[in-house]
Every structure is written in C-alpha cells, then in structure tokens.
C-alpha cells in the first residue's frame, strides 16, 4: 500500500511542488492553456501518464483551464503515488 503523507512532511513536500496546493484533502493544480484544443491535448497526455502509473487524477476541464486533483482514495489521503504523478506532470509540462 502507498505511504500516506501527513503533517509537516506533507506540507514540506507540497511546498516543493510549484503551482500545487492542498485543497479539500487533495493535491491540486490549475493549468491554463491558450484554448480548448490545447487543454484537451494536455488532458490526453495526463491520461497516458496516469494509465502508465495506474494512478488516476480527478480532472476538471473548463474551456482553457484544467484542474487536476490527486489523492489516493484507498489510503484516505495524499500518498507518495500522488506526489510522483505531480512531479511527473511538472517535469513534462513545467512549473508555469
């Protein structure tokens, strides 16, 4: 089972993930794109990453804004798997 992150460890980890924040018990980030087509392209790339990791974010698409939210439901919160996906997305798409 993945390691559940809490307290100071979670706070410090999130502080080192540019653009990510803790919201409603999830690791969340908003991504903005020039248009809907670019937003959908991003979502499709996130889907490929998630499938490879067998760990799937909640994704909310609002025209050119995509909100990704990560948590491990089985563990009851944010785990090392969520951090791993967040880092992968930052590496692939940048911290802007």
Give the CA distances from residue 78 to residues 49, 59, 91, in Å, rounded to whole numbers and listed in that order. 18, 16, 20
Model pLDDT, residue 1? 74
Taken as a whole, the chain contains a residue count of 96
The model's pTM:
0.92
Sequence-distant (6+) residues with CB within 8 A of 2 are 72, 74, 75, 79, 80, 81
The residue extents of the domains of the chain are 7-93
What's the CATH code, domain 7-93?
Answer: 3.30.1360.20
| pLDDT tens digit sequence for 15-69 | 999 999 999 999 999 999 999 999 999 999 999 999 999 999 999 999 999 999 9
Q: 28 burial class (0-12, 13-18, 19+ CB within 10 angstroms)?
A: buried
Angle at 1 between CA 42 and CA 14, to 5 degrees: 50
Model pLDDT, residue 66? 98
């Amino acid at each position: 089972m993945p390691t559940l992150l809490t307290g100071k460890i979670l706070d410090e980890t999130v502080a080192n993930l540019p653009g990510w924040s803790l919201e409603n018990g999830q690791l969340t980030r908003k991504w903005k794109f020039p248009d809907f087509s670019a937003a959908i392209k991003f979502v499709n790339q996130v889907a490929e990453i998630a499938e490879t990791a067998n760990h799937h974010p909640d994704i909310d698409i609002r025209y050119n804004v995509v909100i990704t939210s990560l948590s491990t439901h089985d563990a009851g919160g944010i785990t090392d798997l969520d951090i791993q996906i967040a880092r992968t997305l930052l590496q692939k798409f940048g911290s802007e």
